[in-house]
Amino acid sequence: MIISQSWRIIGRSAILLILLLSFLSGPLLADKKMLRVSSETAHIYLDPDKNSPVVATVKKGALLTLRHTRKFKRVWNQVIFTSEESGTKAGYVHDSDVERLFVVTNIATLYEEDKQEKQFREARWGMSKEEVIRLEGAPDQMVELGELEMMMYQERIKEMDCFIEYIFEKDRLIKGKYNFVVKHEYKNDYFRDYKKVKEYLAEVHGKPPLDNINWLNPQYKEDYSKWGFALSLGHLEYNSLWSYQKTEIQLRLYGENEHIKLEAEYKEVESEEKKQETETLLKFKLSSLLK
């Protein structure tokens, strides 16, 4: 009798708990994920870019439906909203103009996403162009490099203009690059830029195991005031190298024809298993040719 009453109490408590959770979940756990405009006004753009045409301007407190939980270019939310003039529309709103009205409940999914290795920015080696566009938005430029394709974006990093380049082979991401666009009248100032980028990379990946200053022609080696000039001629080169998560990073400061370049290149490093497969395939092709 006592056991039966205990089970009834437990059953009633469980039912009350389920009802309470259902009541509290309401909009927070609904399928539709909503954003609320927190700025006085917010522009909604056609593309995830402030230079893109403005689709609409909404006021503080307006509710927007989030289409994807993943952000575009890290700071843009793709949303759907209703306009009195033209009905339902879609566009992009900047993260700084909105606040979330939902909580993330799928802890397991988030944990799995966090575990996935990210080799270049938010991307992983092997991603297709379409997958990278989902992360970064439409590229500013597309370039064909023989059998390779490159998608280019423009950004400002460490107070320097920069081209961000995604390089694909057969629609598979194999390389990424930061190409810094800087120009100094006094050429020794480029060493300061190199140091700034190297310190930035060291914050993320630690001290570079390889950090070299290479003199290809020692003509100006004894006169530091002319090192920048030597750099522009290709006499001098700075290199730093990191390796992590199937990725090799090379930071280079070098010159040619009196033009100085600063770039950080990320590239996929083949696993030992993949190297052996490639070597086996090459040997097979070679033996077929020799027959």
281 within some domain: no
The whole-number pLDDT of residue 191 equals 96
194 and 93 co-located in one domain: no
Long-range contacts, 74-80 (Cβ 8 Å, 24+) = 74/122, 76/48, 76/137, 77/35, 78/48, 79/35, 79/44
Structure tokens at 89: 């529309």
64 within some domain: yes
The whole-number pLDDT of residue 283 equals 56
137 and 264 co-located in one domain: yes
The whole-number pLDDT of residue 186 equals 94
25 within some domain: no
243 within some domain: yes
254 and 145 co-located in one domain: yes
CA distance linking residue 44 with residue 98, whole number of Å = 11
The whole-number pLDDT of residue 117 equals 67
| CATH code at position 61 | 2.30.30.40
204 and 243 co-located in one domain: yes
Per-residue confidence in pLDDT tens, the chain, 291 aa: 554 555 555 555 555 554 444 444 444 334 578 999 999 999 999 888 888 899 899 999 999 998 877 777 778 888 988 777 767 788 899 988 999 887 644 433 333 444 456 789 889 999 999 999 888 888 888 999 889 999 999 888 888 899 999 999 999 999 999 999 999 999 999 999 999 999 989 988 889 999 999 999 999 999 999 999 999 999 999 999 999 878 999 999 999 888 999 999 999 987 555 545 545 555 555 555 555
Instruction: Tell me how crowded residue 84 is: count the other CB atoms within 10 A of its CB.
Output: 5
How many domains does one find in the chain?
2
138 and 91 co-located in one domain: no
The whole-number pLDDT of residue 15 equals 53
70 and 136 co-located in one domain: no
267 within some domain: yes
122 within some domain: no
163 and 92 co-located in one domain: no
111 within some domain: no
The whole-number pLDDT of residue 121 equals 87
Alpha carbon 137 to its chain's center: 11
184 and 247 co-located in one domain: yes
Residue 211 belongs to domain spanning: 129-271
